[in-house]
Amino acid sequence: MDNAPSHNDKQQAEYSVVVDIRQLSDAPAKISATAQERAALAKRFDIIAIEELSATIGYRHDDAAVIATGRLSADIVQQCVVSLEPFSTNITHDFSIVFQPAETVSDLPEQETESGDDSFEIDSDDCDVMIYADGRFDIGEAVAQTLALELDPFPRGPNAEDVAKAHGLVTEVPKDNPFAMLEQLKPKG
């Protein structure tokens, strides 16, 4: 693997680690993003910082496809949606991504809906398939996309509950009665 530029026509990937399938080995590979790449990804994901981003990845061939399985590890800094304070968290996630050659992938099915929009349905198994061309794929971009999916869209820092209570944003609900909250919403009188 090398840190060659991405072959994405629309824009250059912030974190690009291009893999040539002819040079894959059986030994797991470790990749890590540089400070510049992490800063660019943090900007893309609209978070304060990515202090560390690495992945250990093993590859295996399945006919023309390559299956990459590994573990992503990231130390990130996000802003709490309640207190607005920055806080650090670690994300560790196991992943499996199938890289399918473009020439073996048929076009996505198109269906005409009543509204006139073209649409199609995919199931969860379709979400971890990425397309490659010319015998090369970008595992760096795949790791970046995996991280993006693991980010909490509404991150709550360690002081979120205290700040919410101090501003009257939290109502205590007895845990033994799931309908207690509904009772509080009922009009009085």
Q: What is the pLDDT of residues 82-119, one digit of tens each?
A: 888 999 999 999 999 999 998 887 644 444 445 555 54
CA distance 78 to 11: 25
pLDDT digits (tens, 9 = 90+) for 122-151: 444 545 889 999 999 999 999 999 999 999
Q: Does residue 136 contact residue 62 with C-beta atoms inside 8 Å?
A: no
Tokens of 37: 């790449």
Taking the complete model, does pTM exceed 0.75, yes or no? no
**How many residues are listed for the chain in this entry?**
189
Q: Find, among 125, 130, 85, the residue nearest to 104 by Cα.
A: 130
Please indicate whether residue 159 or residue 69 has the higher confidence score (pLDDT): 69
Residue with tokens 């470790």: 30
